[in-house]
Amino acid sequence: MPHLVNSRVKNVLVRQAMLRWPVSPELGQVLTGQKIVSVDRRGKYLFLSTEAGRMMIHLGMSGSLRILDIGIAPEKHDHIDVMFDSNKLLRFRDPRRFGSVFWLPTGESHVLLERLGPEPLEKDFDTDYLFKQSRKRKLAIKQFLMTSQIVVGVGNIYANEALFMAGINPEKSAGKVSKKKYAELVQAVKFILAKAIEAGGTTLQDFVREDGSPGYFEQQLNVYGRGGEACVQCGKILKEIRLGQRTTVFCASCQR
């Protein structure tokens, strides 16, 4: 959404304020008239920043954002419109209403941000950090890797792929994974995420890029969505299980 930068908000329309948490009631009043100075991200939270503060957005499980021309009629699950002087609007859609929208005045943070772990592509996310966090942890390594208090932004698909690349069984307790394997896992996470960003993300039924077009990283997936098919490395059949209520696919031969 970089083309929103320098656009000025001329109106905010909240049709449905009851999301996972209520939309900040002051959102429309404080955001109207403000110029967007940057669009940023922290974990799964998106920020539209102004001199007065930030609009903090989480898409939840089914949320999406669209940039449309003003005047396009909303559909059933289109809950919030932020309209700009460019005759464009940013539309927040969320069928399940598990997303959230908050207003953070300049200088203020939010409790949801304060407990987040480091970004996976930054230097703070390294072997020593991840190994130290894992000690005495009985949680399965895949669930551990997807815990936002440990590291942000490693979703289900990327966790499957990184663990395959590192040769780690997703069911193995985090505390029993060696430091050598954690070094391989950190490298795999960084590689997988960098490739996904370059390709535009993963293509899922409810995923689109900012312009409404799908991502293409799905073409490069080695395990996710391939349960029952042959492993690309050894040819044996990939196993599919539920782990932490999430689909998990791995090769029992290549991942120990």
User: Each residue of 114-127: pLDDT tens digit?
Assistant: 889 999 999 999 99
How many structural domains comprise the chain? 2
CATH number at residue 240: 1.10.8.50
Asked whether 61 and 140 are in contact (CB, 8 A), the reply is no
Least Cα distance to 223 among 203, 201, 247 occurs for 247
Torsional sign, CA 223, 227, 232, 233: positive
Q: Provide the residue-wise pLDDT of the chain in tens; the chain has 256 residues.
A: 667 999 999 999 999 999 999 999 999 999 999 999 999 988 889 999 999 999 999 999 889 999 999 999 999 999 999 999 999 999 999 999 999 999 999 999 998 888 899 999 999 999 999 999 999 999 999 999 999 999 998 989 999 999 999 999 999 999 999 999 999 999 999 999 998 877 765 544 344 444 454 554 555 799 999 999 999 999 999 999 999 989 999 999 999 9
Looking at the structure, tell me whether residues 141 and 62 fall in a common domain. Answer: no
33 with 109, same domain: the answer is yes
Domain of 108, CATH number, reads 3.20.190.10
Asked if residue 121 belongs to a domain, the reply is no
In the prediction, which pLDDT does 216 show?
A: 46
Beta bridge partners of 242: 247
* H or E segment and range at residue 6: none
Of 58, 85, 114, which marks where a domain is finished? 114
Question: Tens digit of pLDDT for each residue in 157-200?
Answer: 999 999 999 999 999 999 999 999 999 999 999 999 998 877 76
Does one domain contain both 102 and 132?
no
- What is the β-pairing status of strands 9-14 and 38-42? unpaired
Q: Which domain holds residue 35?
A: 2-114
